[in-house]
Amino acid sequence: MSITSTRVQNILQQFQRQRILVIGDLMLDRYIYGDVHRISPEAPVPVVHVQREKAMPGGASNVAANIRALGGQAALCGLLGRDAAGRELREILIKNSVITEGILDLPELHTTVKTRIIADRQQVCRVDWEEKPRLDEPTLDGFCKRIAVELKKSTGAILEDYGKGVLQQRVADVALSAAKSSNIPVGLDPKDYSLHLAGLTIATPNRKEAFAAAGLPETSPVADPLHDRALLEAGQRLLTKWLPKMLIITLGPQGLLLLSAEAPPHHVPTRAREVFDVSGAGDTVIATCLLALAAGAEPIEAAELANFAAGVVVGKIGTATCSPEELLAAVTNHG
Annotated catalytic residues are: 283
Residues 6 or more apart whose CB falls under 8 angstroms from that of 246 comprise 201, 202, 258, 259, 260, 299, 302, 303
The rounded distance, in Å, linking the Cα atoms of 122 and 117 is 8
Q: Which residues of 225-261 are buried (b: 16+ CB within 10 A; e: fewer)?
A: beebebbbebbebbbebbebbbbbbbbbebbbbbbbe
* Angle at CA of residue 280, ends 274 and 286, nearest 5°: 105
Question: Residue 172, SS3?
Answer: helix
**Nearest to 188, CA basis, from 157, 213, 164:** 157
Residues 6 or more apart whose CB falls under 8 angstroms from that of 18 comprise 72, 73, 155, 156, 291, 294, 295
Other Cβ atoms within 10 Å of 39 Cβ, number: 11
Q: At what angle do helices 324-334 and 299-313 cross, to 10 degrees?
A: 100
The rounded distance, in Å, linking the Cα atoms of 292 and 300 is 10
